[in-house]
Structure 1
Amino acid sequence: MSSALKMTCLECSAVNRVPADKLSAGAKCGTCGARLNDGKVRALDPATLAKAQRNDDVPLLVDFWAPWCGPCRMMAPAFEQAARSISPQARFAKINTEDHPNVSGKFGIRGIPALILFQNGKEIARQAGAVPAPAIEQFVRRKARL
């Protein structure tokens, strides 16, 4: 029997347990039925981010961005490409710092885009500035316990 990994549904915020050997089998949320790890980038609010940050065993890379930020908009396709490429080993999400200005202060973000990698209840790494998809993937593979 494989160990279970905790994953917060990025749609409804429910915490789910997924057998590790079933991670790539298209696991769905037991509450809302959304796919837990489908390689898509999800938009987060601060409450869902806090819950996922606190609970998730699977690495979660969060892009802190704003719509007025040129480098943020330029990096968005690369971030989505990296999310598809590295799934199901890690999940990717974005939080709009314009809509949620308190998150910048909470996480000590001084410039955007900023990538923060969370796993097992803590921040494990951060990367500042726009980077291409291969560099994003390498960052996650190097820093996370995959």
Structure 2
Amino acid sequence: MNIEALKKLITQETAVAVYFSSPHCGVCEALRPKVEALFIEKFPAVRFIHIKIDKLLGISGEFGVFAAPTLLVFFEGKEFLRKVRLMGIQELQDKIERPYKMIF
């Protein structure tokens, strides 16, 4: 996936979650399966995408991602939530639940 394809996907899909990670990031690797499982179990209509920022040069600047891990959640093409580094699964669920139920 390239930057243009990701931007297009964000505008075309009703809900998208993009998880950015970097190489040699222990927090990124430990947190990703938990975040991904949250979306699969609680928010199945949200399209979950994992981006390794070292594999897609320029993506960090394009989306304003300057630390890893970063989670961006978009509803109807607009950024709804941005969590950087420390994020609790319950906190994510609480923040996403209300708009998710309103849209879906």
TM-score by length of 1: 0.60
- The aligned counterpart of 1:4 is none
What RMSD, in angstroms, separates the aligned Cα atoms of the two structures?
Answer: 2.0
Identity %: 25
Stretches of structure 2 lacking an aligned partner (at least 5 in a row): none
Structure 2 counterparts to residues 1-146 of structure 1, below 5 A:
44-57=1-14, 59-142=15-98, 144=100, 145-146=102-103
Q: What stretches of structure 1 move > 4 A for 4+ residues in a row?
A: 142-145
| Residue correspondences, number | 102
- Give the TM-score, by structure 2 length: 0.81
1:116 and 1:53 mapped to 2: Cα distance? 11
Aligned counterpart, 1:24: none
Deviation (angstroms), 1:88: 2.6
Structure 1 unmatched ranges of 5 or more: 1-43
Q: Matched residues in 2 for 1:141 and 1:133: separation?
A: 12
Structure showing greater radius of gyration is 1
Residues 1:143 and 1:97: Cα distance change in structure 2 (over 3 Å):
farther
Select the structure that is richer in helix: 2
